Amino acid sequence: MRSPLAGLAAAVGGALALLGCQPSLPPPPAQPIVFSHRIHAGKAGIGCTSCHGFAERGPVAGIPSMQRCEGCHKFVREDPASKEITAQIGVLRAILAQGTVIEWARVHRLPDHVYFTHERHVAAGIRCQECHGEVEQMEVMHQVSPLTMGWCIACHKRKIAEHPAGRAHLLDCWNCHK
């Protein structure tokens, strides 16, 4: 159950964001194994929705299943240029052989009172990088945007300014607060 103070903290955070005060961003959480978005999304050129398949059709982007990882890594076994990468692939293959699931630590989190859907943003042509940063350059995934109410409203206002016809609904409170 969520603490009653969590709602107050969220309200204060939203008010500070509207006043232009940006909260500090959390440090990247420790993950159970090393995973490089720079290698996967950057070097290998794997698109976001290849792994985060629910982003196009649901509220959450989703974490790739172990089967999805195995689908690629049954072919990609080692990287002759890097012993560290080869070692991490070995760790992944051991986990796959055990049939267990990697319990990733969540990097991005919105307050419970916020309704957000990736589907709408993907359908509107919003690039993942607009909220998540240049992920394809990140060795360790970390939060780059505050994801506060003020930050989101500023983006919605920019979208209205770019294409004013039929976009006023982007500032309707009920879009994000159900």
Q: For residue 33, give every residue at least 6 positions away whose Cβ sits within 8 Å of its Cβ, in sequence order, or none.
A: 88, 91, 92, 95, 102
pLDDT digits (tens, 9 = 90+) for 104-162: 999 999 999 999 999 999 999 999 999 999 999 999 999 999 999 999 999 999 999 99
Same domain as 111, residue 40: yes
Q: Which of 112, 132, 126 is nearest to 176 (CA)?
A: 112
3 is a domain residue: no
Residue 173 in any domain: the answer is: yes
Structural domain includes residue 4: no
Is the domain of 172 the same as that of 115? no
Q: In the structure encoding, which two tokens stand for residue 42, read together?
A: 């950057």
**Size of the chain, expressed as the number of residues it contains:** 178
129 and 88 part of one domain? yes
Whether pLDDT at 168 is above 80: yes
For residue range 130-143, list pLDDT tens digits in order. Answer: 999 999 999 999 99
- Same domain for 76 and 50, yes or no, is yes
Mean pLDDT of the chain: 86
**Token pair 């107050």 is at which residue?**
8
Whether residue 51 sits in one domain with residue 122: yes
Give the helix ranges, DSSP H, for the chain.
4-18, 37, 48-51, 66-73, 83-98, 118-123, 129-132, 149-162
Q: Which domain holds residue 91?
A: 28-144
